[in-house]
């Protein structure tokens, strides 16, 4: 068997947009490490009892590939992350085979400078890459997850890169997850495609740090009848995200989700805004500071300040793995349209989703119960001989 060919077994593909970035590299390395028993599944909600017997694909069943516009191999990228303290020392060597296997499945993205292909040609090329991945690896289905750097909001009719990839995902019959604040499926030109699809999709913008905390604190102030007068924040970050968010248009797209959480959880939207500063020396680490001015009983003025310091890739990777597994299972179970029950993971969730973390977690619990029920019903049908095997919904020939 060729080294570039995946084993012919029933597995689930995870096609990463931005497949050689920090988040994607941490996803692949982390999945391999947990599967091998080198590290516990810390941060993976899908590995908690909540999702026992829900029929999720195992971590060992995931096969990785993707698109990227850079050519740094995953093993080398992992070594750089280990040198920066993002990955544990020695992990890139321990999971080198898995990193190399995933790297062989990465294809050139676009559009690159000087690319003369039109939108339709690019979508067709991306779709062909995904279709070949599914066929070559003998996958039951594949989920496309956007983990690329934030792009500015589009200003014209042209489709941004994130929307080209999203359209390719739906054309190949693959569920789509937008882990970024980039446009993705939320472009007017894609509305007919989105409305006609029977595929599940989720997004957008993974909730990993500052907004996660806001989704807890915002409801707290409302529930305790405390009046928030002002809520300002600052983000210091480096790496690819820091460079991308140095563009004011990209930063505005990022901050929209942060603002929505406060608007949805507080009685009155407060004064203040979030500032994002690119600090290259921080690398993949970030610091988020919030300053909250609020009024208590008899108008007593008080202040709450929070500081969140973390590694963005380590915070994001388990969420990406959760979302890939949950969306793949939703697809297998026949769910379609926006997966609002996955709002727990996003700043700006699609569909009907609450903004408070506790309510979002309740919705996630209901989804787990629903998937568990679907699995129990399917197992009962099979035991009674009423159905055959399952799950061909993601075959590459089912194109739209």
Would you state the pLDDT for residue 390? 41
Would you state the pLDDT for residue 238? 83
Would you state the pLDDT for residue 363? 97
Class of 210-311 in CATH: alpha beta
Would you state the pLDDT for residue 259? 78
Per-residue burial over 39-63, b = 16 or more CB atoms within 10 Å of its CB, e = otherwise? eebebbbbbeeebeebbbbebebbb
Mean pLDDT by 10 residues, the chain (400 residues): 45 98 97 98 97 96 98 97 95 98 97 93 98 97 96 90 98 97 96 95 94 94 95 88 68 69 88 90 91 96 96 96 98 96 95 90 97 74 53 37
Contacts for 380 with CB less than 8 Å, ≥ 6 apart:
none
What span, in angstroms and rounded, lies between the C-alpha atoms of 400 and 395?
12
Fold of 11-206+314-382: Rossmann fold (3.40.50)
| Alpha helices (H) along the chain | 22-35, 74-83, 91-94, 96-104, 119-136, 161-171, 191-196, 210-223, 239-245, 248-265, 312-332, 357-383
Q: For the chain, give every domain's residue range.
A: 11-206+314-382, 210-311
Question: With the CA atoms of 350, 354, 358 and 364 taken in that order, what torsion angle do they form, in degrees rounded to the nearest 10?
Answer: -40
């Amino acid at each position: 068997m060729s080294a570039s060919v995946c084993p012919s077994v029933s597995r689930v593909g995870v096609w990463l947009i931005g497949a050689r970035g920090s988040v994607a590299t941490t996803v692949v390395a982390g999945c391999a490490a947990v599967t091998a028993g080198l590290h516990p599944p810390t941060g993976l909600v899908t590995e908690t009892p909540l999702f026992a017997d829900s029929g999720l694909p195992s971590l060992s069943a995931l096969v990785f590939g993707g698109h990227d516009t850079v050519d740094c191999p995953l093993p080398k990228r992992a070594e750089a992350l280990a040198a920066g303290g993002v990955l544990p020392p020695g992990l890139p060597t321990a999971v080198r085979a898995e990193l190399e296997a995933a790297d062989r499945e990465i294809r050139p993205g676009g559009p690159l400078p000087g690319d003369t292909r039109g939108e339709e040609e690019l979508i067709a090329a991306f779709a062909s890459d995904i279709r070949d991945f599914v066929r070559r690896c003998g996958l039951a289905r594949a989920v496309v997850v956007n983990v690329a750097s934030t792009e500015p909001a589009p200003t014209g009719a042209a489709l941004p890169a994130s929307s080209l990839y999203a359209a390719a995902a739906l054309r190949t019959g693959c569920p789509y997850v937008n882990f970024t604040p980039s446009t993705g499926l939320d472009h007017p030109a894609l509305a007919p495609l989105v409305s006609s699809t029977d595929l599940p999709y989720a997004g957008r913008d993974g909730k990993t740090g500052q907004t996660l905390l806001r989704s807890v604190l915002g409801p707290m102030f409302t529930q305790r009848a405390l009046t928030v007068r002002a809520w300002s924040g600052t983000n210091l970050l480096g790496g690819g995200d820091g460079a991308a968010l140095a563009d004011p248009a990209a930063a505005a797209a990022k901050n929209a989700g942060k603002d929505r959480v406060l608007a949805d959880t507080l009685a009155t939207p407060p004064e203040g805004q979030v500032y994002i500063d690119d600090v290259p020396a921080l690398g993949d680490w970030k610091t988020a500071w919030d300053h909250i001015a609020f009024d208590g009983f008899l108008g007593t003025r008080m202040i709450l300040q929070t500081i969140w310091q973390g590694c963005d890739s380590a915070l994001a990777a388990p969420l990406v793995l959760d979302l890939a597994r949950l969306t793949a299972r939703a697809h297998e179970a026949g769910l379609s349209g926006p997966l609002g029950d996955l709002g727990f993971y996003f700043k700006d969730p699609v569909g009907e989703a609450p903004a408070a973390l506790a309510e979002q977690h309740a919705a996630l619990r209901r989804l787990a119960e629903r998937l568990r029920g679907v699995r129990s019903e399917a197992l009962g049908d099979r035991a009674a001989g009423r159905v055959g095997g399952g799950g061909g919904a993601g075959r590459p020939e089912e194109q739209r």
